């Protein structure tokens, strides 16, 4: 009698893959750079510097908290960080309401940031095209 392979449930994770966090930081940086496309005079530059500082703080605080959390958690949980993104994305992601696939979780987290960053880029392009055609 041979042993039959039983279908295994996909692994369940309750944290995002590190590449998703890297993508979040990259999209935040893209947003800041595209917002600076609106810099025209001294007042705008000042306000954009303040907004850039707020976005920097919004990225730096979660990063600092994740570093503290990572140092305080157990060794067994550290083994999960070594997963490749493909393994994580094909697994399940647990939220407080339900489970979804890791790929869907990444898309749902990154989509609002991408929409804002790409939208701001589009607005900047339209502003520069309109300014040059009006001149």
Enter the DSSP assignment of 37. G
**Structure token digits, residue 9:** 């449930």
Average pLDDT for the chain? 86
92 close to 10: Cβ distance less than 8 angstroms: yes
**Structure token digits, residue 76:** 């067994």
Domain membership flag for residue 85: no
Helical segments of 73-101, H only? 75-78, 85-90
Domain membership flag for residue 105: yes
Q: 64 lies in which domain range?
A: 16-73+92-134
Q: For the segment 12-54, what is each residue's pLDDT rounded down to a tens digit?
A: 888 889 899 999 999 999 999 999 988 877 788 888 999 999 9
Number of domains observed in the structure of the chain: 1
92 close to 13: Cβ distance less than 8 angstroms: yes
Q: Is the model more confident about 105 or about 5?
A: 105
**Is the full-model pTM beyond 0.85?**
no
Domain membership flag for residue 82: no
Angle at 31 between CA 57 and CA 107, to 5 degrees: 95
Domain membership flag for residue 11: no
CA distance 70 to 104: 24
Domain membership flag for residue 79: no
Domain membership flag for residue 81: no
């Amino acid at each position: 009698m041979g042993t039959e392979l039983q279908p295994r449930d996909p692994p369940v994770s309750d944290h995002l893959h590190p590449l998703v966090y890297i993508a979040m930081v990259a999209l935040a940086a893209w947003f800041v750079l595209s917002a600076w496309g609106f810099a025209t005079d001294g007042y705008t530059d000042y306000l954009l510097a303040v907004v850039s500082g707020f976005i920097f703080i919004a990225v730096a605080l979660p990063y600092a908290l994740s570093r503290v959390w990572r140092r305080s958690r157990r060794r067994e949980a550290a083994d999960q960080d070594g997963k490749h993104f493909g393994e994580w994305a094909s697994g399940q992601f647990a939220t407080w309401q339900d489970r979804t696939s890791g790929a869907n979780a990444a898309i749902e987290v990154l989509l609002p940031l991408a929409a804002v960053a790409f939208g701001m880029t589009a607005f900047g392009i339209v502003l520069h095209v309109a300014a040059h055609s009006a001149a």
